[in-house]
Amino acid sequence: MQEAHAVDLGEILTLWSTVPFAGMLLSIALFPLFAPRFWHHHFGKISAFWAVAVTVPFLILYQGQALYEFLHIILADYIPFIIILIALYTVSGNILLRGTLVGTPVLNTFILFIGTVLASWMGTTGASMLLIRPFLRANSHRKNRTFMVVFFIFLVSNVGGSLTPLGDPPLFLGFLRGVPFFWTFSLFFQMVVVAAVLLTLYFILDSYFLRKEGIQAPRDNNEKEPLKIDGMHNFIFLIAIIGAVLMSGVVKLGEVNIFGIHRAIQDVIRDALLLLIALLSILTTKREIREDNEFTWFPIQEVAILFVGIFLTMMPCLKILQAGEKGALAFLVQTVEEPYHYFWVTGILSSFLDNAPTYLTFLSSLLGKFYSGMEASEAIALLIKENSIYLKAISAAAVFFGATTYIGNAPNFMVRSIAEETGTPMPSFFGYMLKYSLPILFTTFILVTFLFYL
């Protein structure tokens, strides 16, 4: 594997190499719309097809370098990504909120607010998996639930994760590169503006639809069950997950070579701990709790299968982007100068690519722009001191824009899958964008641009 670094793929790849990634995205967008039954039974085969479509030609053409890049994206990116999702999904699914909870505009808005606050401390995935089932049960009597789930994705699965490195992967990677843990609180006012706009709009829509439906919430119910939480010991496991993630960011134990890929030993230990936590959560929680919580493995299976295809097919896109002005997207990189440029380009790319490497790409671009040749940790300290608006722009964008598409952040897919399992119709890939994210989120992001980045 020594020859793995002999060629910089990003500098020699053309935009044609991104065709399998485009095919993967179009498959996710179009098959559920035009052939839903076929997609439900064969999405794994379709994901495998596009993965083969990119890996086989690359391995033939670029051999060792291609093998290195594919192994790296699987071992260093995909496996840690899916392990933390499995841990959060499993532990959150073993926590059951029992009792009579009736969804009203006030209660629903409050749940979204609580989820937005929790997301920065237990991750967008943890907060989403903890609250989506109680949220859906509370509104099972409502006719119009689709917009509720969409706003849940906006707020709990994305925007709420912007205040700490625990909230969203790009911020955690920034923390690993030297951004202080509490620096992300400097995004507080940006998050407040976005959350306030979305929560206000949600309350207005929920109130409108409730009046339109003419449904009277069951207020006086003699059989009203008091609220209580089963599986409370799983909150200890949630804290343990947070501790394992933090440990991997602050402890340095050296590296281990796995098939030619260097991984930090503390990261390997973290992954093992997360799997152990998930297993202990299952073993120590009664099966009845999961059954009453309508817990199934399908949402996480769908994410695992589709995202392995997404990760493999997006490798050429990321390499081209990381090549900067030497790659096929030089025309785009060269136009990114002002803070609002970084906000929108980072955000739009994060909507379709993995937001973590996109964030790192533009972080590296900023360090090269302002502090070329300087040690990374020292450069980041100066960036925060002298040009923090640029770091705020890419940090906020990487988190906020994840709500733009179903693939912008992993919880989006799982929330959609859980909603559909419980009978809530969800819009198609393009329907989600055209009806909800583009008109609502982009309008809000334009406001953010004028308030903070111009």
Q: DSSP letters along 94-132, please? A: T-EEES-----HHHHHHHHHHHHHHHHHHHHHHHHHHHH
Q: How far apart are CA 6 and CA 67, in angstroms?
A: 13
Written as six digits, the tokens of 235 are: 């909150």
Q: Does residue 243 form part of some domain? A: yes
Within 10 angstroms of residue 364's Cβ, the number of other Cβ atoms is: 15
pLDDT digits (tens, 9 = 90+) for 74-110: 988 888 888 988 998 899 889 988 877 788 899 999 9
More confident residue, 364 or 201: 201
Is 12 among the domain residues?
Answer: no
342 in a structural domain: yes
Classify 264 as helix, strand or coil.
strand
pLDDT at 243 > cutoff 60: yes
In a domain? residue 315: yes
| Residue 5 is assigned to a structural domain of this protein | no
Those residues with Cβ within 8 angstroms of residue 122's Cβ, 6 or more apart along the chain or in another chain: 88, 130, 166, 238, 241, 242
Domain count, the chain: 1
User: What is the number of other CB atoms lying within 10 angstroms of the CB of residue 3?
Assistant: 11
Distance separating alpha carbons of residues 109 and 38, to the nearest angstrom = 37
Q: By residue range, what is the domain housing residue 391? A: 17-216+225-453
* 7 inside domain: no
In a domain, 11, yes or no: no
Of 297, 231, 243, 296, the C-alpha closest to 273 is 243
Residue 320's Cβ-count burial label (10 Å; 0-12, 13-18, 19+) is: buried
Q: Tell me the per-residue pLDDT of 304-352, one tens digit each, with 9 for 90 and over.
A: 999 899 889 988 888 887 787 788 888 877 888 899 999 999 999 888 8
Question: How far is it, in rounded angstroms, from Cα 439 to Cα 366?
Answer: 30
Residue 375 DSSP code:
-
Length of the chain: 454
What is the signed CA dihedral for 63, 64, 65, 71, rounded to 10 degrees? 110
Residue whose structure tokens are 């089932």? 133
Q: The dihedral of CA 32, 359, 71, 414: what is its sign?
A: negative
Helix H or strand E segment including 229:
strand 228-230
Compute the radius of gyration of the chain from its Cα atoms: 22
Residue 1 is assigned to a structural domain of this protein: no
Q: Using the predicted structure, report yes or no on whether residue 267 has a pLDDT greater than 50.
A: yes
pLDDT 10s digits, 27-81:
988 898 889 889 989 999 999 999 999 999 999 998 888 899 899 889 888 888 8
